[in-house]
């Protein structure tokens, strides 16, 4: 309980700030819903227009540090990917033209064979999928033998905190409390559940 005038003032300011931030988050969710509604309508042109009109709202919320910049980037990336996926009718037309020639049919097979070594060469998962982990922290974890979602899911929070602390004050400030939980969902392919969880986080930390 506030015992001084200064403390009471801070409490009042905190309430105002929280209300303001809640209103901004609501504005962002409304903007995202407009884009999603346009995508669900099946009209790519309308979806693109809605994205261009409302994506700036997400950027502004991130600029005000209401949400983490990685979270804003993830929202924009997912919405953009859904809009791009709406143009999937172009691919079958190309395949239909190439199908009559056996040589062209052999080229995709060669491309798949060429792609196989790339998959084999990939030793770990993209840990930056976990909110709160950037490229530099991913490198730190890889150096400690944590290179897959499974490794991260099995890691102890204290161990992760020790890795960050050893890297210096710049990394010590990060909180890895939710990283194993996020990694477990990614490991199990539960990306929708991961997205729902990340929408409740702020920079990988529970709000």
As annotated, the residues of the chain forming the CATH 1.10.150 domain(s) are: 127-206
Instruction: Tell me the pLDDT of the chain averaged across its residues.
Output: 80
Domain 127-206 fold is: DNA polymerase; domain 1 (1.10.150)
Query: For the segment 165-179, what is each residue's pLDDT rounded down to a tens digit?
Result: 998 888 888 888 998
Average pLDDT over residues 17-29: 85
Which SS3 state, helix, strand or coil, does residue 9 take? helix
For the stretch 99-105, contacts whose Cβ atoms lie closer than 8 Å and that sit 24 or more positions apart, written own/partner, are: none
Distance CA 44, CA 66 (A): 30
Q: Would you place residue 96 in the very low, low, confident or very high pLDDT band (cuts 50, 70, 90)? A: very low
**pTM of the predicted structure, to 2 decimals:** 0.42
Distance CA 48, CA 72 (A): 18
Q: In this structure, what token pair is assigned to residue 12?
A: 């009042």
CATH number of this structure's domain 11-85: 1.20.58.110
Distance CA 68, CA 175 (A): 14
Distance CA 173, CA 158 (A): 14
Average pLDDT over residues 58-76: 88
Q: In this structure, what token pair is assigned to residue 199?
A: 């929408």
Q: In this structure, what token pair is assigned to residue 163?
A: 């890795």
How many percent of the chain have pLDDT more than 70?
Answer: 80
- Provide CB contacts within 8 A for 168, sequence distance 6+: none
**CB contact at 8 A, 148 and 125:** yes
As annotated, the residues of the chain forming the CATH 1.20.58.110 domain(s) are: 11-85
Q: In this structure, what token pair is assigned to residue 67?
A: 């949400």
DSSP string of 64-80, one letter each residue: TTSS-HHHHHHHHHHHH
Is it the case that residue 187 has pLDDT exceeding 90?
Answer: yes
Is it the case that residue 24 has pLDDT exceeding 70?
Answer: yes
Q: Would you place residue 72 in the very low, low, confident or very high pLDDT band (cuts 50, 70, 90)? A: confident
How many percent of the chain have pLDDT more than 90?
Answer: 21
Average pLDDT over residues 145-157: 91
More confident of the two residues 175 and 207: 175
- Provide CB contacts within 8 A for 45, sequence distance 6+: none
Average pLDDT over residues 2-24: 82
């Amino acid at each position: 309980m506030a015992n001084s005038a200064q403390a009471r003032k801070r409490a009042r300011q905190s309430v105002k700030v929280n209300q303001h931030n809640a209103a901004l988050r609501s504005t962002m969710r409304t903007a995202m819903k407009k884009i999603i509604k346009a995508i669900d309508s099946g009209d790519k042109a309308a979806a693109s227009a809605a994205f261009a009109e409302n994506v700036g709202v997400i950027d502004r919320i991130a600029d005000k540090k209401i949400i983490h910049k990685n979270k804003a980037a993830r929202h924009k990336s997912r919405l953009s990917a859904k809009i791009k996926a709406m143009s999937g009718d172009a691919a079958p037309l190309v395949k239909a033209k190439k199908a009559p020639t056996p040589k062209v049919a052999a080229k995709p097979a060669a491309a798949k064979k060429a792609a196989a070594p790339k998959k084999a060469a990939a030793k770990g998962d993209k840990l930056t999928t976990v909110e709160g982990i950037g490229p530099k922290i991913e490198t730190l974890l890889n150096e400690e033998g944590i290179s897959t979602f499974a490794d991260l899911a099995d890691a102890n929070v204290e161990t992760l905190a020790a890795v960050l602390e050893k890297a210096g004050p710049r990394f010590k400030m990060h909180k890895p409390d939710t990283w194993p939980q996020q990694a477990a969902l990614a490991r199990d392919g539960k990306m929708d559940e991961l997205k729902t969880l990340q929408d409740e986080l702020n920079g990988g930390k529970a709000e």
